[in-house]
Amino acid sequence: MPNKEITIAEAQKMVDEWITTVGVRYFNELTNTAILMEEVGELARIMARKYGEQSFKASEEGKELADEMADVLWVLICLANQTGVDLTEALHKNFEKKNVRDKVRHKQNLKLK
């Protein structure tokens, strides 16, 4: 696949096409939720070792941060597709919410100064 930008909507469509052709079908929503938690755990493990105090085990060598983040994104997109969530629209609404709720909150947080 060429290295080009992919919109969120394109990603949702690409994942759906892959699942329904190569992957046969989606796992059910509960299974995908469990898989999402597993993938987030794998991401957390790398973060703890790369940026935290833990060291890598020999069996963890070769694990890449970007690949684990992509795994999390993949399963999240699967769940969005299965539940009818338009992630582009959801992200826009989330920005609106944060711009109202957090407009001055972080600027006033003394812990961030």
- Give domain status of residue 113, yes or no: no
Instruction: Please report, for residues 76, 82, 87, the alpha-carbon distance to residue 94 in angstroms, rounded to integers and kept in the order given.
Output: 16, 20, 10
- Give domain status of residue 2, yes or no: no
pTM of the prediction? 0.86
Range of the domain at 67: 8-85
As a whole number of angstroms, the distance between CA 85 and CA 3 comes to 26
Average pLDDT over residues 1-17: 92
Q: What is the pLDDT of residues 37-75, one digit of tens each?
A: 999 999 999 999 999 998 888 777 777 999 999 999 999
pLDDT of residue 1: 56
Give the CATH number for residue 18.
Answer: 1.10.287.1080
The owner of tokens 């003394």 is: 110
Overall domain count for the chain = 1
Instruction: Please report, for residues 4, 9, 21, 81, 93, the alpha-carbon distance to residue 17 in angstroms, rounded to integers and kept in the order given.
Output: 18, 12, 6, 11, 26
Summary mean pLDDT of the chain: 93
Token pair in block for residue 47: 């973060």
- Give domain status of residue 50, yes or no: yes
- Give domain status of residue 109, yes or no: no
DSSP assignment string, 60-109: GTT--HHHHHHHHHHHHHHHHHHHT--HHHHHHHHHHHHHHHTTTTTTT-
